[in-house]
Structure 1
Amino acid sequence: MSDTPVQTSATVLTVRQVQDYHAMTLVAPAIAERFRPGQFVALAVGGEHTGRLVRRCFGVYEVKSDYGGTVEVVFADTEPGTAWLAGLRSRDKVDVIGPLGRPFRLPRDPVTCLLVGGGPGGAALFALADTLHRRGCQVHFLLGGRTGKQVFGSRMAHRIGDSAAVTTEDGSMGERGTVGAAMPRVIADTGAEVVYGCGPTDLLRSITRVAGEFGLPSQVCLEEFLQRTGACGIGVCMTCVLPLHGEDGVTRMVRACADGPVLRGDRVRWGDLGTIPFDALGAPRVLGVPEGGRAR
């Protein structure tokens, strides 16, 4: 099996509404056989003659052997590109590139894992959960959203997880509050040894902070950051760069799509997203800006 991504014309099997989101299953055997949890796919939108040139990047919810190999993605209908995808029907064709990016790093020995997700991005945690279980790990879920309809996969999490907790800001599902506020209790209750996260950038920042307070390693998938920056998915457009603190103490600007989307949470300079810190390797120097400032 090659790790090289492929470009293929995938056939739509189904598009279904799941709470506030859409789940699309694509027949794409070459992508399914290469996929590892944490990687993503980039879908062309608008059809053959569209002016929408930028692909839409989504984490993979599930791969199956059905029809030679299927790939399922989950997304919110938030703009014209995703609206076009939501309007597709069975047997339509979509140009897809994948699997792309670096996957989650897996533990060598069985450990207790906490998987934290929010919104449609949390869908990418379920393929990871399956792999962790096959390695003998315990898998605990913590999922959140503003409302119950914005929490993806709560039933699945209760079914396959060793435990599952849900938070909503309006209290319509699970306990009222945020994922970040619930994390300390869930870590203590489960005895988690490693934390994996996927969802909105603010959530990933909270996951990293709380995991650090408990001395736990964290890996986070920046799929939402890719979508928000309008990334091409293949490392060419350079719109998804972010500052990453290396083991050698040097900050470098990396591409979330090519160097991620999975990164060590404690290495990301969350407060400097959207900027080029002046202490980053190769950062421009601007007269009148003090050392340690930021270029925007």
Structure 2
Amino acid sequence: MWYHHYRVSSNTQLTSNIHRVVLESTDTPISKAKAGEFVMLYIPAVGELPLSVFKQKEEELHFVIEDYGGASSRAVNLHKGEMVGVRGPYGRGFTLKQNTNYLLLAGGSGAPPLLKFVEEAQSTPGVSVTYLLGARSASELFLLDEARSMGARVMVSTDDGSMGYKGLITQLAEKLLSEATYDALYACGPEQMLLAAMSLAKRFGVYFEGSFVRDVRCAVGVCGLCVMEGTGRLLCVDGPVFSLHELEAAQHGG
């Protein structure tokens, strides 16, 4: 594989198992990534890790990485000055349209692509964004001020009620959908949350897109490991973002 070369610029711990890692290009940076697209991060002697781009500034790449074992454990422990490789971006991202009222649901480490979407929405005419971040407790919430600084209305939910709405993020979303009109509901997080968000979108007649997670290896549609069950779609080339219509059509052979 051919990689763009990057040096670790900083590594900041955001929660007990989530870090913000910033890379700086040492040759030619990757092309501009769209919210929801992903790259493959190569760590020497470890392997590759698929990651959504959280922020991109000229020669810098910002990632929010959760430690869930394997290569991710090494990624959250990268030290300043270490060299890594990056290839991509790959996949399809979220759709951004003018004059649209968006409701975004970020479940835990599902925040990065939606924060990137908030950033892109800043310069899009007539767009308003309500950004919801859900977690088990207040100690697991992160980058709220960053979302606010980009113009989003920010609300949080915690399972234990230690901050914001007490309950699931989808319960908070249901409350908001019953109180106001939204044009689109976008979500990224655990699959159970995505399925609940899809049900809400159907119930309230709101356009839906969700970013899903599968085991990605090649990222170019060759190995077939990231197939979406029941649809035949490959997450790395057809996704990782899918609309409700696309998923339902694929399940019915459309």
TM-score by length of 2: 0.88
- Per-residue CA deviation, residues 203-258 of structure 1 (Å, 9 max, x unaligned), is 11111110111101111111xx23xx3544332321110147xxxxxxx4011111
Q: 1:200/1:7 Cα in 2 relative to 1: closer, same or farther (>3 Å)?
A: same
The equivalent position to 2:14 in structure 1, one of 15, 18, 22, is 18
Which residue does the alignment assign to 2:34? 36
Which residue does the alignment assign to 1:60? 53
Output the CA distance in 2 between the equivalents of 1:150 and 1:237.
Answer: 35
Deviation of the 1:162 alpha carbon: 4.2
- Which runs of 5 or more residues in structure 2 are unaligned? none
Deviation of the 1:178 alpha carbon: 0.2
Counterpart mapping for 1:2-151 below 5 A: 7-20=3-16, 21-28=18-25, 30-31=29-30, 33-45=31-43, 47=44, 50=45, 52-53=46-47, 55-65=48-58, 69-107=59-97, 109-136=98-125, 137-151=127-141
| Seq. identity, % | 25
- Per-residue CA deviation, residues 150-207 of structure 1 (Å, 9 max, x unaligned), is 3333232334344221111111221110011111222244421111111111111111
Say if 1:253 and 1:280, in contact at 8 Å, map to a contact too: no
SS of the residue 1:97 aligns to? strand
Say if 2:52 and 2:112, in contact at 8 Å, map to a contact too: yes
Q: Residue 154 of structure 2 aligns to which amino acid in structure 1? A: A
Output the CA distance in 2 between the equivalents of 1:190 and 1:140.
Answer: 11
Deviation of the 1:133 alpha carbon: 2.4
SS of the residue 1:41 aligns to? strand
* 1:241 correspondence with 2:227: yes
Q: What count of residue pairs does the alignment treat as equivalent?
A: 248
Say if 1:140 and 1:161, in contact at 8 Å, map to a contact too: no
Output the CA distance in 2 between the equivalents of 1:130 and 1:123.
Answer: 11
Say if 2:118 and 2:147, in contact at 8 Å, map to a contact too: no
The equivalent position to 2:239 in structure 1, one of 260, 268, 272, is 260
Q: Residue 100 of structure 1 aligns to which amino acid in structure 2? A: Y
Output the CA distance in 2 between the equivalents of 1:162 and 1:138.
Answer: 7
Say if 1:118 and 1:152, in contact at 8 Å, map to a contact too: no
Output the CA distance in 1 between the equivalents of 2:216 and 2:152.
Answer: 36
- Per-residue CA deviation, residues 107-160 of structure 1 (Å, 9 max, x unaligned), is 1x3111111101112121111112122112011111101222333332323343
Output the CA distance in 2 between the equivalents of 1:58 and 1:192.
Answer: 29
SS of the residue 1:134 aligns to? coil
Which residue does the alignment assign to 2:190? 200
- Per-residue CA deviation, residues 42-61 of structure 1 (Å, 9 max, x unaligned), is 1123x2xx3x54x2111111
Output the CA distance in 2 between the equivalents of 1:260 and 1:170.
Answer: 33
Which residue does the alignment assign to 1:289? none
Out of 156-165 and 110-119, give the one that drifted further.
156-165
Deviation of the 1:266 alpha carbon: 4.2
Q: 1:161/1:200 Cα in 2 relative to 1: closer, same or farther (>3 Å)?
A: farther
SS of the residue 1:191 aligns to? coil
Output the CA distance in 2 between the equivalents of 1:195 and 1:83.
Answer: 32
* 1:220 correspondence with 2:218: no
TM-score by length of 1: 0.77
Q: 1:213/1:165 Cα in 2 relative to 1: closer, same or farther (>3 Å)?
A: same
Say if 1:122 and 1:143, in contact at 8 Å, map to a contact too: yes
Output the CA distance in 2 between the equivalents of 1:208 and 1:172.
Answer: 27
SS of the residue 2:122 aligns to? helix
Output the CA distance in 2 between the equivalents of 1:210 and 1:183.
Answer: 8
- Which runs of 5 or more residues in structure 1 are unaligned? 1-5, 245-251, 282-296
Please report the RMSD computed on the Cα atoms of aligned residues, expressed in angstroms.
Answer: 2.3
Deviation of the 1:268 alpha carbon: 2.6
